[in-house]
Structure 1
């Protein structure tokens, strides 16, 4: 059974409220199409909580009423239970949220339907190395679950991009690797060696920027500025990062396998809402001509280990 770690669904109330792809509401159809391609389980989440990735003037995804967000997560939990064996979920939380919001998220990941958190790679122009996110990372360390890092509706720099296609396909993609870089350079991984993140969209272009990230750590022409804050090279913290296959680029996928290792690549489609044929996405992995073990790990084994998908855990949802 193939496991897809990156899918999305949306409650009927949200589909009626905001313009968004109808596929987000076709849960039975999604499961059926994925089963035909050998994908038996999808981990779904909302990167906007009770909001939307569509640009809507005046809408602030981070100013959601607590009751609406709680109702959304209740719907998500019910949906997972109604499709037991085929769905699990991430709990959405604003990493700069209030103590009450963080406490509510902590309660969610104690429920068997939720296997980790989903947070935005930046929030209102702030990356996650900002001290304002300290409370969230303390919470994540205590909960000991993975964090799906997903780009926000409005990534850093998006106001300068008038073409929404650039926001959607390049701005959000770039936000992921910039966020990962700030997490590394800001010491989040050094501070918590057990921190585990899943980087959406294949981690952006981080695999291609590993050498430049190491150069940023201690450039020769800044040598007089003193010792670097990190005790080792930034790229050495890649061992705490897993990337999905939703870059939708065979070249990027090969780079990720080479740089992160096949044991740190997770099959993910970002479907729905992206309208890809999921069988084609499976073939992007099988056509890499990796060993049988590496292929099986990307498609299934890595997700089982990272998300703790034991038989007992799956039975608990049912």
Structure 2
């Protein structure tokens, strides 16, 4: 049994409204393809809520009406129920949006279909070191919900990289790197010690920057344990085709903090290649099992979720 902590789904009306990969709506196909390879559960959500990751003139993902987001989450919950055991859900919100959004997300987390939160690593060019994120981080720490820090549709510096492929495969991993670094340098893990943060894409370039982050911390006079030590408090997923990046992640974050993730759908990376990348790390059987399922089961409380559903 393998658990994929990073998948995306989209309701039919949004697929008709926005230009999106059709795979986001092929939920039956996703479940079947993954099950054939032993990937039995996928944690799914949307990094844009009822919006779109592809640029559409006049569409602002951060200006979604509350009722549209409520309908989207109702659909996610229904889809999770229909695929009992094969799916679990993320709650989406804008972490800089204030009390009402935070309260709505906390309420959704009470539903057994939702096991975590998905937010953007930057919002309109701002990282989450801004004090407006305090309410969000406090709620995430209090609930214990894992937070997937997903790059946004328009990451920082996207205007300087016009090609869509470059934005997706270069700029977004950089947004993860900068966004998580901003959180760490702002002392969020010290202020909210219960936070469970997941950096996708093997943490971007964070595994290569531990010493540089310590230097930045010392230069800025930031108190607390070295950032390089705080990195061991983060989780990362394996959603990258780069085995060297995964090896660096295993060394810096440790196998206890690695989660199998594919970003599929919509990413078209072959699922068997994603599994083979984990095998290529040469982990012990115990650590391999942790990466493929054990860490995710414990982090998301998936055994408890099944008990809640059954009751």
Q: Same fold (TM over 0.5)?
A: yes
Please say if 1:313 is aligned against 2:294. no
Deviation at 1:235, TM superposition (A): 1.2
Other structure's SS at 2:286 match: helix
TM-score (norm 1): 0.95
Whole-angstrom distance in 2 between the partners of 1:34 and 1:17? 27
- 1:285-315 deviations in Å (ceiling 9; x for gaps): 11222100010000010101111111x4214
For the 8 Å contact 1:177–1:204, the answer to whether it is kept is yes
Deviation at 1:18, TM superposition (A): 0.3
Whole-angstrom distance in 1 between the partners of 2:192 and 2:65? 31
Other structure's SS at 1:218 match: helix
For the 8 Å contact 1:190–1:230, the answer to whether it is kept is no
Other structure's SS at 2:302 match: coil
Whole-angstrom distance in 1 between the partners of 2:307 and 2:141? 25
Alignment of 1:168-317 (within 5 A): 168-219=168-219, 228-310=221-303, 312-317=304-309
Q: Which residue does the alignment assign to 1:135? A: 135
In structure 1, list runs of 5 or more residues that go unmatched.
Answer: 220-224
Aligned residue-pair number: 310
Other structure's SS at 1:214 match: helix
For the 8 Å contact 2:232–2:252, the answer to whether it is kept is no
For the 8 Å contact 1:7–1:42, the answer to whether it is kept is yes
Q: Which residue does the alignment assign to 2:145? A: 145
Q: Which residue does the alignment assign to 1:86? A: 86
TM-score (norm 2): 0.97
Q: Which residue does the alignment assign to 2:106? A: 106
Runs of at least 4 residues of structure 1 off by over 6 A? none
Deviation at 1:96, TM superposition (A): 0.8
Whole-angstrom distance in 1 between the partners of 2:140 and 2:262? 25
In structure 2, list runs of 5 or more residues that go unmatched.
Answer: none
Whole-angstrom distance in 1 between the partners of 2:307 and 2:198? 24
Whole-angstrom distance in 1 between the partners of 2:223 and 2:45? 33
For the 8 Å contact 2:138–2:192, the answer to whether it is kept is no
Other structure's SS at 2:53 match: coil
- 1:102-160 deviations in Å (ceiling 9; x for gaps): 11111011111111110000000110010111111121122121111000000111112
For the 8 Å contact 2:173–2:201, the answer to whether it is kept is yes
